[in-house]
Amino acid sequence: MTEKGVTIYFVRHGETYFNSYGRIQGWSNTPLTENGKDDVRRCGRGLADTKFNAVYTSDLSRTQETARIILEENGQLETLNMIQMPEFREVFFGSMEGMFGAEAYEKVREYLGYETKQEMFKNTDVPERMDAFRAIDPEGHAEDFMMFWSRVEKGLLKLIDRHRDTGEKILLVAHGGTIRYILQNFVPDLKDTKALLNVSVSVAKYQDGSFHLERYNDVSHFKDAE
C-alpha cells in the first residue's frame, strides 16, 4: 500500500541588509530590505493556491519575517502558528559574522593554500570551506560542516517524524545553506545544487521512506501586484 507521505515547501528567506552589502551572515540577524519584502510578497501571491497544514522557520528573525509575509499574502496568517526550530539555522561563522564575504574568503583561500579564490572555489566544496572557517576563527566559535549538518539533520528527522504519512503540505522557511544541504543529502535525484536565490521555492515529497524532488530554486511562480 502506498503511503500518503508529506510534501515540504522549502523557502529561502528574502534579501536582508547583510545580503545586499555582501557581508557574511549566519546567525547574525539583519532585517529584510524593502526589495526583499517585495519579493516575499510576490512569492506569497504565487503560493496563494497552496494551503499549508503547518509552518516552520529557523529561530532567526529573517525567516520568521519571510514566513509571516508569505502567510499574509496567501491568506493563512490567522489560521496557522509558526513554529521556530533552532536546528534550521544557517551555519555559524563565529567571529567572522558580518565581515565582507570577499575579505572572509580571502582568509579561507590563504588557509587552504590556493593562489586565487577562483582556483579555490573550483577545487573545493562547501563542507571543506566550512571546515576552514572553523579552523581560522581565532575565537573557535565557527561551525565546521559536521557540527552544522548534525543539528540540521536532527531538525529534519524531527519534522518528518511529526508529519510522515499525513498527506500534509508543510512550509519550511530557512536559509540557503541549510536548505541546499538538506536536499543534497536527502534527495537522490537532485543533480543541480547551485546556490539558492532569495525567496526561491524548492519542493520535495517524502514518501515510502525517501524524498522525491518536485522543484528546485524556483521563482517562476512569483506574481507582481495587480
Give which of 168, 171, 194, 139 is closest to 71, Cα–Cα. 171
- Beta-carbon contacts of residue 157 (< 8 Å; ≥ 6 apart): none
Per-residue exposure over 46-64, b if at least 16 CB sit within 10 Å of its own CB, e if not:
bbeebebebbbbbebebbb
- CA distances, 147 to each of 91, 142, 143 (Å): 9, 9, 6
Distance between CA 204 and CA 214 in Å, rounded?
Answer: 5
As a whole number, mean pLDDT of residues 134-152 equals 97
As a whole number, mean pLDDT of residues 121-134 equals 96
Q: What is the mean pLDDT of the chain?
A: 94
For residue 15, what is the DSSP state? Answer: P
As a whole number, mean pLDDT of residues 172-199 equals 90
Residue 2 confidence class, pLDDT cut points 50, 70, 90 = low
In terms of residues, how long is the chain? 226
- Beta-carbon contacts of residue 219 (< 8 Å; ≥ 6 apart): 43, 197, 199, 200, 201
Residue 195 confidence class, pLDDT cut points 50, 70, 90 = confident
Q: What cell was used for 212? A: 522525491
Q: Whole-model pTM?
A: 0.94
Residue 1 confidence class, pLDDT cut points 50, 70, 90 = very low
47-100 pLDDT tens trace: 999 999 999 999 999 999 999 999 999 999 999 999 999 999 999 999 999 999
pLDDT value of residue 138: 95
pLDDT: which is higher, 139 or 188: 139
| 177 touches 91 (CB < 8 A) | yes
pLDDT value of residue 92: 98
Percent of the chain predicted with pLDDT > 90: 89
